[in-house]
Homo-oligomer: A and B are copies of this chain.
Amino acid sequence: MKTKALPGFRDFYPTDLALRSHIFNTWRAVATRYGFEEYDGPPLEPLDLYTTKSGEEIVGQLYNFRDKGERAVALRPEMTPTLARMVAARAGELRKPIRWFSIPQLFRYERQQRGRLREHFQLNCDLIGEAGPLADAEIIALAIDVMRAFGLGPQDVRVRLSDRRVLTAILQQRRFPAESFAKAFDFIDKVERLRREQIEEFSFSQNKAFAPATVQDLVDIAAIRGWDQLHSELAKSPESLEAAEPLQEVYQSLSHMGLGEFVEVDLTIVRGLAYYTGVVFELFDAGRTLRAICGGGRYDNLLRELGGVDLPALGFGMGDVVLGELLKDRGLAPVEGPGIDVFLAFITKEDIPDVLDLAHRLRDQALSVEYPLSPQAVGKQLKLADARKARVAVVVGPDERSRGQVILRDLRRGSQEAVAQSELVDLIKVRMHG
């Protein structure tokens, strides 16, 4: 067969899908503990839903086309515009705060780099209608608890926490002119990835807004780590201390939840300038060998701009790809499918009606059951039972059947016994729960 999957798109064979299901199930379980309800929208949306938020530049990264009704449409590259559309359409009737999550598949036509995909799944959790820092703490705690539910601790993953408002206050206190803030944010966002000579070059040529001294200011600000260092910086002005109150409250709330050791204040977490308005955060593997696992923050103006309803909001997105790599790396991914409960083997064709009856009664007890769909040697059948990792095998044959019995083999213990056919379903139920 010549046709292959498109580059950047994944086939999920059952072993791949077992990992995906493990990720989705864990996402759903933890979101539900936080009272979040699942929603979804169409994977294909009108193109202007995305250009309204991100400008025409985004079109270069989209799977966009004209449908047979001449509508300009695009495969969704992100979920927030759909969320804004759906919330706006029913803003009056939805109880606040709105706690919603979704697990959309998202699509971007990016230039293909090694291993870079053009689709991924992303857990989106959003909390709409609460302006206070307890909401920020709640959404960050949810992201951390997802990690904990996968078996990852503070030695594995770290939250880097910042606040757009704190960074602004520090820039003001260090007397940066207001018109340079956007460029300063951009510099701080990138500083970790710049070499020394690039930083110097930045100050003199590319960006005349900064004299060398202020570049050093920015390098110093970017080097602040943790609450104590931040507090020393903030203590230089009462305005800065006040601007940092929400961030401090978020940090303290996470500590009250017992999650403080996952979190580090780090002003180099900037994220999209046009989008976020307050606390922002990213979740990384502690060794920093992978891209960000999760990113989010507060975007209080977006619903007004996109949806025409004025509601404070915040949320995060967590993709399945980096997370899956981390779980495999830590040995926390499911190795293979769980196998079936019962394999039914038969000796003669005349045994088949009893096999069908037993199979159906066992399945009605929610047990997973297989049997051969064509006659074959019993030894071969029992090999198939092993290959399917069945917990027990039942052999139905004419001799036992004439006595109303079947052979029950425990494939883990290696034992076997003749049991009454009428008692088999109950016996297996007991064994499965034991």
Contact = CB atoms under 8 A, between A and B. Distances in A.
Contact of A40 (B12, B337, B367): B12
Contacts of A368: 32-35
A73 to B, nearest CB: 6
Interface string A305-325: 011100000000000000000
Contacts of A330: none
A131 B375 CA distance: 12
B363 A34 contact: yes
B360 A141 contact: yes
Interface residues of A, number: 95
A71 B6 contact: yes
Interface stretch (A45-53, A218-226, A412-420): A45-53
Interface string A282-325: 00000000000000000000000011100000000000000000
Given A13-B90, A21-B38, A1 B308 contact: yes
A181 interface: no
A345 interface: no
Interface stretch (A132-140, A270-278, A424-432): A132-140
Given A33-B368, A44-B6, A132 B337 contact: no
A202 to B, nearest CB: 32
A359 B39 contact: no
Interface in A357-382: 357, 359-360, 363, 366-370, 373-374
A130 B373 CA distance: 7
A156 to B, nearest CB: 18
A134 B352 contact: yes
B135 A337 contact: no
A259 B360 CA distance: 9
A37 interface: yes
B357 A132 contact: no
A145 interface: yes
Interface in A42-82: 42-46, 48-49, 52, 60, 63, 65-69, 71, 73, 75, 82
A11 B387 contact: no
Given A3-B85, A9-B45, 11 more contacts: A1-B306, A6-B42, A7-B69, A11-B86, A12-B39, A12-B41, A32-B368, A33-B368, A35-B388, A44-B63, A257-B356
20 contacts: A1-B84, A3-B52, A4-B85, A6-B45, A6-B46, A11-B86, A11-B89, A17-B38, A17-B39, A17-B40, A20-B40, A33-B367, A34-B363, A43-B43, A65-B66, A67-B109, A97-B373, A130-B373, A257-B359, A257-B360
